[in-house]
């Protein structure tokens, strides 16, 4: 198994098709599935250690988890929200069966983050609050840049972020791909060039089940990586905002505007994996209908109306050239903007 997948140089047509298919299959970050939707097991086979085959060791891992009386969706073989002897019976019947590459990647995600079921362990390892609590998401915690994996590759064992509820209970992990320093043809932009092109959703987990959702004009208020705020309630994430709307008079650093307690980015992609709490909307759904029900609805994060990039990188169909106008506020005029004239 290759643990790291490099970013796809996908065409706009391919990304459009993937976006449409994903929305139908798992729902985006603004959508919730039907109330009668039923959860399915996280894994197709009980290969809990991710070694490729269901063995006695896997059954022992499950038994140990049952003994702890701590529910983890990753081990729930019949998706009934209980870990018991029924799950052991299923795993025992699967003994000798080969797992899929997706199973093994999900196992890597679990073993890479299981310690973070203790929020204190996550913060000790460099995770800090990134957003306030949002309905369907909870509070996002992300690795500080100098400690984490905010790069341009996908590693299932090292997600960039974690989703917690108000009680500090871990529900999901998430992956982040932001603005990239690489052109579409794979070459690097020259030193000193402030413009960074936009990210493309990477291949991600094996197969087509995972769903990357897209945010544009992201404005993170209260976010200061040097002196991080540890209370998610003091943070605010909104999207669909220009740099000036987010950070009036702010400085530009590395092509993106920043201030002492806020950040702005033209766009980024995210992918959730609900491996700690079963999600009836799907393991890779953008939202969970039972998480933070009293928090701000995700539709409320876009005061100017949600900008959906159904035709993603780089030709966004924004009315009036919104994206190019945003970049113009930064003194950046990428080629695809000038080509529109």
Query: DSSP secondary structure string, 123-178?
Result: HHTTEEE-S--BTTTBEEEEE-TTTS--SSEE-TTS-SEEEE-TTS-EEEEEEEE-
Global pTM reads: 0.85
**For residues 269 and 199, what is the distance between their CA atoms, to the nearest angstrom?**
7
Q: What is the pLDDT of residue 340?
A: 52
> Residues of the chain whose pLDDT is less than 70?
1-30, 146-152, 180-200, 254-256, 304-321, 333-341
Provide CB contacts within 8 A for 49, sequence distance 6+: 55, 57, 58, 61, 107, 111
DSSP summary character for residue 188? B
Q: What gap in Å lies between CA 219 and CA 263, rounded to an integer?
A: 6
**Cβ(42)–Cβ(283) under 8 Å?**
yes
Distance between CA atoms of 153 and 38, rounded to whole angstroms?
32
Dmax (CA) of the chain? 66
* Res 58: pLDDT: 98
Residue-level pLDDT at 186 = 63
Helix, strand counts (H, E) of the chain: 8, 11
Rounded to whole angstroms, the Cα distance separating 138 from 164 reads 6
Task: Name beta bridge partners: 139.
Answer: 164
Residue 97 DSSP one-character state: P
Quote the pLDDT of residue 84.
Answer: 98
């Amino acid at each position: 198994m290759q643990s790291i997948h490099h970013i796809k140089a996908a065409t706009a047509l391919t990304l459009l098709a993937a976006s449409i298919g994903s929305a139908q299959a798992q729902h985006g970050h603004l959508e919730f599935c039907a109330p009668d939707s039923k959860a399915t097991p996280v894994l197709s086979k009980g290969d809990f250690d991710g070694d490729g085959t269901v063995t006695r060791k896997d059954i022992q891992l499950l038994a140990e988890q049952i003994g702890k009386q701590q529910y983890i969706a990753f081990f729930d073989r019949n998706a009934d929200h209980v870990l018991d002897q029924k799950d052991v019976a299923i795993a025992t019947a699967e003994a000798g069966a080969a797992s899929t590459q997706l199973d093994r990647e999900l196992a890597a995600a679990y073993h890479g983050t299981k310690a973070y079921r203790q929020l204190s362990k996550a913060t000790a390892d460099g995770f800090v609050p990134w957003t306030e609590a949002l309905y369907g998401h909870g509070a996002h915690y992300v690795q500080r840049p100098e400690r984490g994996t905010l790069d341009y590759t996908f590693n299932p064992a090292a997600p960039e972020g974690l989703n917690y509820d108000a009680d500090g209970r871990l529900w999901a992990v998430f992956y982040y791909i932001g603005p990239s320093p690489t052109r579409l043809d794979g070459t690097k932009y020259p030193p000193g060039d402030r413009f960074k092109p936009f990210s493309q959703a990477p291949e991600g987990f094996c197969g087509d089940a995972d769903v990357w959702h897209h945010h544009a004009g992201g404005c993170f208020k209260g976010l200061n990586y040097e002196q991080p705020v540890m209370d998610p309630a003091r943070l605010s994430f909104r999207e669909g905002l220009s740099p000036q709307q987010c950070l009036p008079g702010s400085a530009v650093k590395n092509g993106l505007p920043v201030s002492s307690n806020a950040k702005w980015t033209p766009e980024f992609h995210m992918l959730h994996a609900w491996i700690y709490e079963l999600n009836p909307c799907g393991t890779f759904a953008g939202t969970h209908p039972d998480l933070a029900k009293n928090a701000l609805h995700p539709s409320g994060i876009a005061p100017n109306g949600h900008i959906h990039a159904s035709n993603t990188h780089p030709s966004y169909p924004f009315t009036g050239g919104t994206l190019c106008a945003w970049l113009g506020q930064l003194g950046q005029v990428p080629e695809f903007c000038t080509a529109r004239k």
